[in-house]
């Protein structure tokens, strides 16, 4: 088909309907579609947004540029599921069609109140002098219709001492009030976690900045995608860091996502950190968002992609990236543990480890390795493979993409490592047609990445 050359900051309009339908049909016939990872019908997906279990169904919104596999005008696409396996696209989404959001509907979260789902997002507004921070709200009613607030932007200010990059609202209820976290940075180059308060979800008052205490750690020049949740009686804060320098084997991605376990004091505007770590040690994980699923189960999705990286086949396929699979969250010994829901795990083709060379019959498969005689897993053939090197006793894993023919941009790295504080007991690998999630010791550490071997087989060495 003939692809349209669409200007970067173009919202979906009525005149695009026929073209987008044709483009989605084209993309449907391209290879490498995952079965259990939410991915775009065309174009680019990045941050998960507005995650909720609402009206007996899971609702996932995500950042979407529909016209090609690159970053452009961001919409909130919307998919719905009852079981986290089968996802149905909804035409009820956020389209940046107002002046205050003229450069896109950027990331945010949702909160249920009075039988409605309140959606919060950053209205991206660029000028020649820089961005002007604006936060907006929309409401999804019980019938699924979404309407933007007539009072948007509900926050239209830049507090003193902060740069114009203020974004990604995360709203939660605590201590009889509503609170909003925003990511940002100071004019002197320090990341800032910004706090607002409301009694009615629409009128917000600036409270200042939340300081992380009990920790001496350089955290970069800006926070993105703040997220807060209570898990097993502990407060847990997610931050995605911009400008964080590497520290040992940590923080080697261009941007890194970190969790902090501790105690949030809204009165003192502090988060006292008891423990922290990168949420995921792979190449392709960013912008996680926590929420409560069915029965108040703490959960998370994240973006399975990496920046503006040009991936193999993206230009010809006309779609790029996905979200991670949903992950159930627990805290064990101060550490965030992540697990794939059992019903999704059971959907994968489970491969028996009965030989050193396995040729999967499906594009989507799962293995659980416990044989400590194995020192390396190769996914692909001898000449073209992802290498996973294992030191069981030391709890050390190295994922190496240098032996793949379809190489990745060097700024995104060739190797990633995990050093656990305990002996390695099992390695679970979920391969979903080039989308790979690795779970160590039942989710005490994870590695998320893409790899494009031409011939998929598993060699155990």
DSSP string, 128-156: TTEE---EEEEEE-TTS-EEE-TT--SB-
Average pLDDT over residues 275-295: 97
* CA-to-CA dists, residue 388 to 266, 380, 383, 391, 452, angstroms: 43, 11, 15, 10, 15
Please give the pLDDT value at position 410. 66
pLDDT bracket for residue 254 (50, 70, 90): confident
Please give the pLDDT value at position 396. 98
Q: φ, ψ for residue 188 (rounded to 5)?
A: -100, 15
Are the C-beta atoms of residues 97 and 116 closer than 8 Å to each other? no
Percent of the chain at pLDDT > 90 equals: 94
Tokens of 169: 């609202």
Cβ burial 360-380 (10 Å sphere, 16+ → b, else e): beebbbbbebeeeebeebbbb
For 153-189, write each residue's pLDDT tens digit: 999 999 999 999 999 999 999 999 999 999 999 999 9
Q: What share of the chain is helix, strand, coil (3-state, %, to 5)?
A: 5, 50, 45
Per DSSP bridges, beta strands 384-391 and 376-381 are antiparallel
Q: How many whole angstroms separate alpha carbon 162 and alpha carbon 14?
A: 38
Q: How many whole angstroms separate alpha carbon 33 and alpha carbon 322?
A: 10
Residue reference for tokens 């609402």: 54
Mean pLDDT of the chain, nearest integer:
96
Residue 34: CA count within 13 A, CB half-sphere? 28
Q: How many whole angstroms separate alpha carbon 20 and alpha carbon 413?
A: 34
Contacts of 56 (CB under 8 A, 6+ apart): 82
* Cβ neighbours, 10 Å, residue 13: 9
Please give the pLDDT value at position 307. 67
Q: Do you know the residue count of the chain?
A: 461
pLDDT bracket for residue 100 (50, 70, 90): very high
Please give the pLDDT value at position 413. 74
Between the two ends of the chain, the Cα-to-Cα distance in Å is: 45
Residue reference for tokens 């690159």: 70
pLDDT bracket for residue 271 (50, 70, 90): very high
Residue 400: CA count within 13 A, CB half-sphere? 13
For 55-69, write each residue's pLDDT tens digit: 999 999 999 999 999
Tokens of 144: 């699924």
Q: How many whole angstroms separate alpha carbon 386 and alpha carbon 198?
A: 49
Residue 367 confidence (pLDDT) above 90: yes
Tokens of 131: 């961005």
3-state secondary structure string, 393-430? CCCEEEEECCCCCCCCCHHHCCEEEEECCCCCCCEEEE
Cβ burial 331-344 (10 Å sphere, 16+ → b, else e): beeebbbbbbbeeb
Sign of CA dihedral 308, 309, 310, 314: negative
Residue 279 confidence (pLDDT) above 80: yes
Q: How many whole angstroms separate alpha carbon 30 and alpha carbon 41?
A: 11
Average pLDDT over residues 420-432: 97
Of residues 166 and 308, more confidently modeled? 166
Q: Residue 340, SS3?
A: coil
Average pLDDT over residues 72-88: 98
pLDDT bracket for residue 105 (50, 70, 90): very high
Please give the pLDDT value at position 411. 66
For 215-244, write each residue's pLDDT tens digit: 999 999 999 999 999 999 999 999 999 999
For 346-360, write each residue's pLDDT tens digit: 999 999 998 999 999
Q: How many whole angstroms separate alpha carbon 387 and alpha carbon 366?
A: 16
Q: How many whole angstroms separate alpha carbon 57 and alpha carbon 280?
A: 27
For 394-406, write each residue's pLDDT tens digit: 999 999 999 999 8
Which pTM was predicted? 0.97
Please give the pLDDT value at position 308. 63
């Amino acid at each position: 088909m003939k692809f349209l050359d669409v200007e970067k900051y173009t919202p979906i309009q009525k005149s695009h309907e026929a073209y987008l339908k044709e483009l989605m049909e084209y993309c449907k016939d391209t290879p490498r579609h995952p079965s259990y990872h939410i991915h775009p019908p065309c174009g680019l997906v990045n941050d998960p947004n507005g995650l909720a279990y609402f009206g007996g169904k899971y609702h996932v919104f995500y950042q979407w540029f529909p016209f090609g596999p690159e970053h452009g005008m961001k919409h909130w696409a919307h998919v719905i599921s009852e079981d986290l396996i089968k996802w149905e696209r909804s035409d009820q989404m956020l389209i940046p069609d107002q002046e205050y959001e003229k450069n896109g509907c950027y990331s945010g979260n949702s909160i249920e109140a009075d039988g409605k789902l309140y959606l919060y997002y950053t209205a991206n507004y660029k000028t020649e002098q820089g961005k002007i921070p604006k936060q907006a709200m929309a409401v999804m009613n019980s019938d699924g219709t979404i309407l933007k607030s007539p009072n948007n932007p509900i926050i239209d200010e830049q507090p003193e001492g902060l740069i114009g990059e203020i974004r990604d609202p995360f709203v939660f209820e605590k201590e009889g009030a509503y609170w909003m976290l925003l990511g940002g940075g100071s004019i002197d180059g320090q990341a800032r976690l910004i706090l607002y308060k409301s009694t009615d979800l629409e009128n917000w008052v600036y409270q200042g900045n939340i300081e992380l205490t009990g920790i001496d750690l350089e955290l970069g020049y800006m926070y993105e995608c703040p997220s807060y949740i209570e898990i097993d009686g502990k407060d847990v804060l997610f931050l995605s860091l911009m400008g964080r320098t590497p520290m040992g084997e940590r923080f080697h991605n261009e941007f890194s996502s970190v969790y902090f376990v501790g105690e949030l004091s809204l009165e003192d505007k502090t988060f006292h950190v008891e423990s922290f770590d990168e949420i995921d040690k792979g190449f392709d994980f960013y912008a996680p968002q926590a929420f409560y699923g069915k029965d108040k189960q703490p959960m998370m999705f994240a973006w399975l992609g990496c920046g503006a990286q040009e991936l193999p086949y993206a230009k010809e396929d006309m779609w790029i990236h996905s979200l991670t699979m949903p992950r159930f969250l627990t805290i064990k010994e101060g550490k965030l543990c992540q697990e794939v829901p059992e019903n999704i795990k059971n959907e994968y083709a489970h491969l028996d480890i009965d030989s050193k060379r396995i040729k999967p019959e499906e594009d989507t498969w799962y293995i659980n390795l416990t044989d400590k005689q194995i020192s390396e897993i190769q996914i692909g053939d001898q000449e073209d493979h992802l290498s996973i090197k294992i030191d069981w006793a030391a709890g050390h894993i190295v994922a190496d993409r240098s032996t793949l023919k379809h190489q990745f941009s060097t700024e995104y790295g060739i190797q990633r490592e995990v050093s656990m504080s305990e002996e390695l007991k099992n390695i679970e690998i979920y391969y979903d047609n080039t989308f790979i999630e690795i779970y160590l010791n039942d989710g005490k550490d994870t590695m998320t990445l893409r790899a494009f071997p031409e011939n998929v087989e598993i060699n155990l060495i």
